[in-house]
A and B are shown apart, each in its own frame.
Chain A
């Protein structure tokens, strides 16, 4: 049974860099699209982007300029960095395994436990 465990700093000041890492346990790492999704307080879900084991990335165009994703296949881990954060980046950030199919058939299972990131001066 695949499990995702994530960690990272939970409190940032405006203009700092958000950094999160997600580790994959108990399943294959290759072939899937490893994704980040966030949920602002009291709001819906926003897809941030995805990366595969080869380092291929696909970012949400609305966030593309501030995002970097990376992968460490030897450790079965993938990471997210968001530059120049503002209060609008305050959210619970989830990592998730995206389906090993074309983008038109993308769903997410399982999800990590979530990390609350708060941006405040």
Chain B
């Protein structure tokens, strides 16, 4: 079981919006910056969101991040079949003295 909690799967139709949640506690999400990663099948993870809500260059504004207290959310609008992937959240955990990740959420675009 992962330190951060994500739903195992979410699904939505092309063009629709989906949100993926990431839940933790004060020692991780509550006090530290959160990042999100997209892992397409057979590839390495790719940074989507950093510092809770910032997008690296080249990431479309269809992807957004937010954080409130000990929870965070990744939002994806205008879903495309190419968005089908596993999505992970990650942050530092003060108590564990380690970076921790969520268990991943598989997005299916129906």
Contacts and interface: CB of A to CB of B under 8 A. Distances in A.
A66 interface: no
A106 B34 CA distance: 8
Interface centre among B47, B98, B102 (most CB of A within 10 A): B98
Interface string B89-110: 0111010111111111000000
A109 B56 contact: yes
Contacts of A107: 33, 35, 47, 50-51, 90
B68 interface: no
Interface stretch (A13-21, A68-76, A82-90, A97-105): A97-105
B46 interface: yes
Contact of A47 (B46, B51, B98, B102): B98
| Residues of A in contact with B, size category | 20 to 34
A60 B98 contact: yes
| Residues of B in contact with A, size category | 20 to 34
A57 interface: no
A61 B104 contact: no
Contacts of B50: 99, 107, 109
A108 to B, nearest CB: 6
Given A106-B35, A107-B47, 18 more contacts: A35-B99, A44-B101, A45-B45, A45-B90, A45-B101, A47-B98, A47-B100, A61-B97, A103-B32, A104-B31, A104-B92, A105-B51, A105-B92, A106-B33, A108-B45, A112-B44, A113-B44, A114-B44
